[in-house]
Amino acid sequence: MRRYYNGLKTAVLLGLLTGLILTVGYGLGGSTGLLVATVLSLAMNGVAYFASDRIALAAMAAEPVTERQAPQLYTMVRELAAAAGQPMPRLYVSRMPQPNAFATGRNPENAAVCVTEGILRMLSPRELRAVLAHELSHVGNRDILISSVAAALAGILTSLANLALLLPFGSDEEDAPNPLAALLMLLLAPIAAGLIQLAISRSREYQADADGARLSGDPLALASALEKIEHGTRAMPMAQNGSSAAQAHLMIANPLAGDGMTALFRTHPPTSDRVQRLRELAGHHSRRTSAASPARISHLMR
């Protein structure tokens, strides 16, 4: 039921974001603006669908790794992908010292999973396995495509609003925008776009936490990993204006610095909330599997 609700919520929010783009386009340029907004939406969605993986991997300076270079990583991902009924994704490592990970690609057949050198140094094998399960859950749920489309649409909406500064407010042309309406769009459209993207991203993160915990069979390992990653990202925040910052919504944890009001617009839920949910899931899982064999428990603890 929760999966159905999150899927419906995501579809509604994407529809709302697209509707806002068309409304702003029409408000700024009448029928011409509506046409421009429609073309931009279609073009950016095409880019997000076909090129989002290459853009994300390039921005993170990620390099492909072979099984010989990272045998443990390959073993973990192959086992989890088989358990999830997914193809083996391509594996990459970014030289970033910050602990983080992300998945990208429009579908399971074209997916890639990337981990940073920082996360490989920081996490135990058990925690890393739980993080990889989270990322494979994003792949299986098509979250990467959804997040990329949402980010592209939000960028279009913000760009359209900024165009209001260049439009001829004093013109008598039929499609000339109303100055007050253009000002309101300039101020409110980027905020609305950010809030909608935030709502989409947070829903998908909660779902991937739950699905990843079930896939790995170890919710507490994912909770522990998230706490360590949170500490690491705070100690080494990503630059706000770098090319990699545009991929922040893909990461397992928010890689950017920000407190106070800035934290309200993060694309990730608070780590404390995610950890609490995982611990509750672990308690529920423990009650259901109290009769689990010692061999199974030993396997989970490795």
Q: Which residues are annotated as a binding site for Zn(2+)?
A: 134, 138, 205
Strands 62-64 and 101-104: unpaired
Q: Are 282 and 220 in contact (CB under 8 A)?
A: yes
CB within 8 Å of 7: residues ≥ 6 apart: none
Strands 90-94 and 112-116: parallel
Kindly report the backbone phi and psi dihedral angles of residue 257, in degrees, each rounded to the nearest multiple of 5, phi listed first.
-75, 155
135 catalytically annotated: yes
Which of these, 41, 48, 39, lies nearest to 19 by C-alpha position? 41
Q: Specify the 3-state DSSP secondary structure of 114.
A: strand
Question: What sign for the dihedral angle of Cα 251, 11, 29, 47?
Answer: positive
The binding site comprises 134, 138, 205
Tokens of 175: 């499609």
Which of these, 233, 234, 273, lies nearest to 251 by C-alpha position? 233
Active-site position among 135, 174, 227, 230? 135
Identity of the residue numbered 194: G
Kindly report the backbone phi and psi dihedral angles of residue 106, in degrees, each rounded to the nearest multiple of 5, phi listed first.
-75, -20
The DSSP symbol for 64 reads E
What gap in Å lies between CA 3 and CA 1, rounded to an integer? 5
Tokens of 260: 């106070």
Which residues are marked as active site?
Answer: 135
